[in-house]
A and B are shown apart, each in its own frame.
Chain A
């Protein structure tokens, strides 16, 4: 454990900077959303239109990838996008660091994605049916399937962590080496990269989940077709 990043301890728990930053992000997001959605109108104003645009765009993106799953996956995928984008952008603020620049945070998110893939897959057809796709087309494929699941989860965590950490490190280095205004292009690149990485992470999560659901659907439809034929 990096003892420098521990802010305080809560009993046996050592609360680190990424956790505190995450709480701050959560608090800000919750307060902002609570205020923004307190008086929603059927005839929306500019801010409500922007809010509906964000939620509608996320919903439509999910629905395009997984039709009829928009509402069900919106909380998880939408929160991934929003949280990661804001968490990435926090690093731009002076004196703050991105929670996603910590491997524990990105690992936690990747593990959640890993679990959600199986959660939504099992909810679709049940545990037995979902489990059987790991031995398809042959039981020999089981280790490869497991390795694939683990590797892509690790890749998910490391990709986000690596990108954010490298950007923050590069910005700090440029700031130390060069003058005050020189890091501005690097910070702009940081903003773009933060948004892109958030989009990539959320999109990959969506693709993985849709893969788990659709593999089940494909298999079940194949079985139904075989029974009917």
Chain B
């Protein structure tokens, strides 16, 4: 255990040199790389913070836009609801109008069908009545009814309007004027005489007469004077009855 000054001084120099060498080859490079890594980490952290800030800004912007879109969507939905309600009301009104028109049309159709049914029922009733009257009067037709119809014709001649009488006079005044007598069966002499007397009185002159039998007339007679016809037959009366009944309906 003794101190060697040469070794002592050399060791001091050696250590100082070693300090420089290690500083040059160990501490500085390692500290530099650590500093660079920390710098990189700091930069990455700053980038991450900036990215986070941007992301936060974007998120807030997105949420704001989302809220605006929601409000706009709500407004659109409300407007659409109003439009739908208005359209529904309009269509309901239109539908009501169409239903009313259809109802009226159905009512008209029902009325028409009712009227048709009534008319058919009337026709059937008239046909039945005509058939009944035809059968009844057909069973009553005969010489007595013929005589009664001659009486009726004579009465009608007496009550003819003046205008019709003048027309008959004009027809009878023609040079070739004649009387065409058509009967369902031959008239009796008395009835024929009464008829001619009444005609002569009404026409104011005596005309030649031709006779004709038509069984389809069932009973009564027809007297033709030129273009005019005086009828008092059962068939003609039934035709008049049928047409009159139809007009009455």
Q: Let me know if B19 and A33 touch, CB within 8 A.
A: no
Q: Let me know if B11 and A22 touch, CB within 8 A.
A: yes
Interface centre among B10, B14, B36 (most CB of A within 10 A): B10
A37 at the interface (CB under 8 A from B): yes
Q: Let me know if B10 and A13 touch, CB within 8 A.
A: yes
Interface of B is mostly: helix
A51 at the interface (CB under 8 A from B): yes
A57-89 toward B: CB 8 Å interface, digit per residue (1/0)?
001000000000001001110110011000000
Interface residues on A, range: 35 or more
Task: Give the CA-CA distance A102 to B25 in the complex, in Å.
Answer: 27
- Residues of A with C-beta under 8 A to B40: 42
Which residue of B8, B10, B30 contacts A40 across the interface (Cβ within 8 Å)? B30
Minimum CB distance partner of A18 in chain B? B7
B176 at the interface (CB under 8 A from A): no
B220 to chain A, nearest CB (A): 141
- Residues of A with C-beta under 8 A to B159: none
Interface residues on B, range: 20 to 34
Interface of A is mostly: helix
Minimum CB distance partner of A34 in chain B? B25
B30 to chain A, nearest CB (A): 4
Q: Let me know if B22 and A40 touch, CB within 8 A.
A: no
Minimum CB distance partner of B25 in chain A? A33
Closest 9 CB pairs of A and B: A108-B11, A104-B7, A37-B29, A33-B25, A33-B26, A75-B23, A40-B33, A104-B8, A55-B30
Q: Interface on A for B, CB 8 Å cutoff?
A: 1-2, 13-16, 18-19, 22-23, 26, 29-30, 33-34, 36-37, 40-42, 44, 48, 51-52, 55-56, 59, 71, 74-76, 78-79, 82-83, 99, 102-105, 107-109, 111-112, 161, 165
Could you show 7 A-B contacts with beta carbons less than 8 Å apart? Answer: A26-B14, A30-B22, A33-B22, A34-B25, A37-B30, A99-B11, A102-B7
